[in-house]
Amino acid sequence: MKLSEPMTRIWRRLMQPAFPRAASAGPATRRQRNAQRGVALLIVTAGLTVLGALQLSYRKRSETDIQSALNTRDDLRAHYLARSGINLSRLVIKVQQSVMDKFRKQIGDIQLAEFVPTMIRAFSGQKDEVEGLASLMGPIDTSKIKGLGLKGKQDFSLEMDTDDGRINLNCAGGSTASQQALEGKLAALVLSPEYDRFFLTEGPDGQLTDRATMVHAILDYIDRDESMFGAPGQGEQYGYDQTNEPYLAKNNYIDTVEELQLVRGIGDDFMDKFRSSFTVYGGCKVNLAALDPRSAPVFAMLIYQAAKNPSDPVLTDPVKFLKLVQAVTQVRQLWGTPFTVQTFVSTVKEPGEALVKPGGGILGNLLGGGGGSGSGDPAGGQTQAPPDIDGIELDTGKLNQLVIDGPRRTYRVESTATVGRVTKRIFGIFDTQHVNQNNIDPQYRTGTWVYWRED
């Protein structure tokens, strides 16, 4: 059968080879083919590079997503681990109130909060720590007790302290009587010539501020009126609205002690010296039993304020007064027995005798102390002469207006938990006398967290 002309052309085209023979290729065709040699290799290399980059990106993203999920898991675990520390602090406070404080006169001023960092290892320590603590109480098999210790890369710590031995600045927002009492405390706190440097140099605002002006500025910053303290009808004029970043006095309770740096004349140096002497929680009287031996200015303030003779030579002699304050703080630190009104008065009157004689209470009895005239040395049992330190006589009535001697009211609680790479910290202030607004159980009508922060 004879094909048509178009079909013949198509048939001939199909019968031609796909690639012409090398022998039949001309010089121009060979040069063109040589110029294209290696292109496939470049294309394959570029493709592998792109695929490798995509694979690395995918792997990196997957690793990031996995680590993010692990961090989220650890963050949640660390949060609840820190919360468990806070719950344990509530248990400690409850036992303190129900047992220790209730029988305080019989057993002495024992504060469970001081033993919390050690006790907490029974719950937060590893297996060997838990067994070590258990061995102190006898042959106890801790493996059969649930809830003890942690496994793996987990840990949490708990620290508890109190602010009751400090001066409450928020009493400036109370009654006239509490304001006047606070004025006296603050004036006595900065009375020593040792602190002249704070008032002979310019403050952060570039102004010189004397003692009376600083004390009144603190009161006026917190009190609820806009009249200058001690000058009714005269407005507060401290220049806060004329600074580079103008602001007004708060005229309300402050939330932290650090807010004092907004008050005229108060800078970093002043805060470094007196920060540990102040608080914004609790009552308006200082708890003698909670005095911190590191807060020497508070000891000095109490001695100044309660002195029976304000013109006593010891008070007017900076060297003698400094030695007296140091001796009283050393007594508290050395014997570890909290002060009562009676022991504080006797210590200030005879500081030398108090330094070489163990204090009262359980610790004093263990060290061989008591009411005897001899001076026992707990280290070697030898008698030593009391150091020559001049004391002064205090007015018990004046002292009772400044202090109380009793159980703690506020607790400063810090719980820190670590799980893997994540660390969570919860810090709170618990006030045992603050009225609980969410009152469900009448037994818990008082006692609540007045400050809470999570980091």
Question: Do 157 and 177 fall into the same domain?
Answer: no
pLDDT bin (cut points 50, 70, 90) of residue 18 is low
pTM confidence score: 0.77
pLDDT tens sequence across 298-316: 999 999 999 999 999 999 9
Same domain? For 174 and 262 the reply is yes
Query: What count of residues does the chain have?
Result: 455
Parallel, antiparallel, or unpaired: how do β-strands 422-435 and 446-454 relate?
Answer: antiparallel
More confident residue, 274 or 6: 274
Q: Residues 223-273: pLDDT tens digits?
A: 998 888 888 778 888 888 888 888 989 999 999 999 999 999 999 999 999
Cα 439 from Cα 262, distance rounded (Å): 36
Q: Which two tokens stand for residue 71?
A: 């961090």
Is 333 part of any domain? Answer: yes
Residue 420, pLDDT > 50, answer yes
Given a cut of 50, whether residue 343 has pLDDT beyond it is: yes
448 and 335 housed in the same domain: no
Evaluate if residue 30 carries a pLDDT over 80: no
- 11-22 mean pLDDT: 60
Please tell me the distance from the alpha carbon of residue 121 to that of residue 424, in angstroms, as a whole number: 18
Note the pLDDT of residue 436: 80
Look at 350 and 141; give whichever has higher pLDDT: 350
pLDDT on residue 291: 92
pLDDT at 236: 86
Structure tokens at 314: 């010891």
Q: How many domains does the chain have?
A: 3
Domain edge (last residue) among 276, 309, 337: 276
Q: What is the pLDDT of residue 275?
A: 93
User: Does residue 328 form part of some domain?
Assistant: yes
Tracing tokens 């600083």 back to the chain, one arrives at 214
Q: In this structure, are 395 and 292 located in the same domain? A: yes
Between CA 96 and CA 112 the distance in angstroms is: 7
Spatial separation of the C-alpha atoms in residues 455 and 453, rounded to whole Å: 7
* CA separation for the pair 93, 96 (Å, rounded): 5
Structural domain range at position 368: 285-407
Rounded CA-CA distance 16/28 in Å is 20
CA–CA dist 158, 164 (Å, integer): 19
Q: Is the pLDDT of residue 154 over 60?
A: yes
Res. 40: pLDDT tops 60: yes
Question: Residue 57 domain-assigned?
Answer: no
* Pair 373, 441 in one domain: no
| Banded model confidence at residue 54, pLDDT cuts 50, 70, 90 | confident
For residue 444, being part of any structural domain is answered with: yes
The model's confidence at residue 207, banded by pLDDT at 50, 70 and 90, is: confident
Calculate mean pLDDT across residues 272-293: 93
Q: Are 414 and 403 in contact (CB under 8 A)?
A: no
Determine, yes or no, domain membership for 179: yes
In a domain, residue 403? The reply is: yes
pLDDT tens per residue, range 321-340: 999 999 999 998 888 788 99
On whether both 292 and 401 belong to a single domain, the answer is yes
> What is the spatial distance between Cα 30 and Cα 19, in angstroms, rounded to a whole number?
12
State the pLDDT at residue 257: 94
Beta bridge partners of 451: 429
Q: How far is CA 345 from CA 299, 304, 348, in A?
A: 12, 12, 5
| C-alpha span between 188 and 45 (Å, rounded) | 84
Clarify whether residues 176 and 269 are in a common domain: yes
Q: What is the structure's pLDDT at 361?
A: 38
pLDDT value at position 380? Answer: 45
Q: Which of the 8 DSSP states describes residue 194?
A: G
**Cβ–Cβ under 8 Å, residues 164 and 282:** yes
Same domain, yes or no, for 87 and 112? yes
What is the residue whose two structure tokens read 């207006």? 401
Name the residue with tokens 């005897």: 372
For the chain, percent of residues with pLDDT exceeding 90: 50
pLDDT at 356: 83
| The pLDDT of residue 239 | 85
* Residue reference for tokens 């344990």: 88
Residues 127, 86 share a domain: yes
3 state SS of 449: strand
Claim to verify: residue 296 and residue 402 sit in the same structural domain:
yes
pLDDT value of residue 368:
40
CA dihedral over 301, 302, 303, 309, signed as positive or negative: positive
Asked whether residue 437 is domain-assigned, the answer is yes
Distances (CA, A) of 61 to 47, 54, 57, 66, 290: 21, 10, 6, 9, 55
Q: What is the CATH number of the domain that holds 176?
A: 1.10.40.60
Which helix (DSSP H) or strand (DSSP E) does residue 323 occupy?
helix 318-335
Q: Is residue 8, in this structure, part of any structural domain at all?
A: no
Last residue of a domain, one of 276, 302, 335: 276
Same domain membership, residue 300 and residue 346: yes
